[in-house]
Amino acid sequence: MTPPKSKVFFGNGNFEEIGQEFKRYLIEFSGLQPHHKILDVGCGIGRMAIPLTDYISDAGSYYGIDIVKDGIKWCDEEISRRFNNFRFIHTNVFNAHYNSGGDVTASEYKFPFSDDYFDVVLLTSVFTHMRPADVENYLSEISRVLVKGGVCLITFYLINEESSAAIKNGSSHLDFKHEFDGILTTDKNMPEAAIAYPQDYVEKIFSANNLDVSDGIRLGSWCGRQEFLTWQDTIFARKI
């Protein structure tokens, strides 16, 4: 399966290598098993789905949702027709950067799944494009659809003492210099292009949704950090 070459769907980096990288994280850090049910929020064109097709068994299932309709169409045609336990759903949620024609706000959107359904929920480079009210609602929905003991893997740009200093001294790869609503962006005219959150705020809203982040934060290299897991900061949280 060769995906279309569009940064709308997966940004910079090697499509296949990043997919395999996060497959390892899902197995090693999130405890994903072949029989599990996994939800991929912001699935794009299957960067995470494709490497999981040889891991998720017929007893398990994968669901991907995304706000970009063309990506869902490609996944239906290229993945679902070959793997019937891999399903993709278009969610017409508004996002100023990626889906300005959306008919529902992310702060009001409800995931189309029942409570306590998924063992693992995955979001890569999703909350990095969403505002606080939207993130808080999605976290509530993530907690709702996760089974007790289930794990979510979510990437962020986290502002803490180290990353803040790197931004100020110019050593960060991303210049989060514009502040609004308590968060930072690289583009004041299009904040959703890249959004960073204070780490203490993120930890607080995870806790408010019964998502335990104890020993589950792996910091990334985006700010020039020399010891890191991957590019963005990654949170592994367990529903309690």
**What are the extents of the domains in the chain?**
7-158+202-239
Beta strands in the chain (DSSP E): 37-41, 61-66, 86-90, 118-123, 146-156, 158-159, 178-180, 183-185, 195-198, 211-212, 217-218, 233-239
Per-residue pLDDT for 3 more than 70? no
- Provide the percentage of residues in the chain whose pLDDT is more than 70: 95
Residue 67, CA distances (Å) to 22, 44, 168, 175, 178 in order:
21, 8, 34, 26, 26
CB 25 within 8 A of CB 153: yes
CB 51 within 8 A of CB 23: yes
Per-residue pLDDT for 140 more than 70? yes
Q: Which residues pair with 152 in a beta bridge?
A: 121, 237
- Residue range 211-221: average pLDDT? 95
Mean pLDDT, rounded, of the chain = 95
Per-residue pLDDT for 72 more than 80? yes
40: tokens are 């991929």
3-class secondary structure, 234:
strand
- Residue range 58-87: average pLDDT? 97
Question: For the whole prediction, is pTM greater than 0.85?
Answer: yes
Per-residue pLDDT for 4 more than 70? no
- Residue range 15-43: average pLDDT? 97
Per-residue pLDDT for 7 more than 50? no
How confident is the model at residue 110, as a pLDDT? 98
Q: What is the CATH number of domain 7-158+202-239?
A: 3.40.50.150
- Residue range 2-8: average pLDDT? 54
114: tokens are 């029942």
Provide the pLDDT confidence category of residue 13 given band limits of 50, 70 and 90.
Answer: confident
Per-residue pLDDT for 10 more than 80? no
177-203: pLDDT as tens digits: 999 889 999 999 999 999 999 999 999
How confident is the model at residue 236, as a pLDDT? 98
CA distance 85 to 87: 6
Pairing of strands 217-218, 178-180: unpaired
How confident is the model at residue 8, as a pLDDT? 45
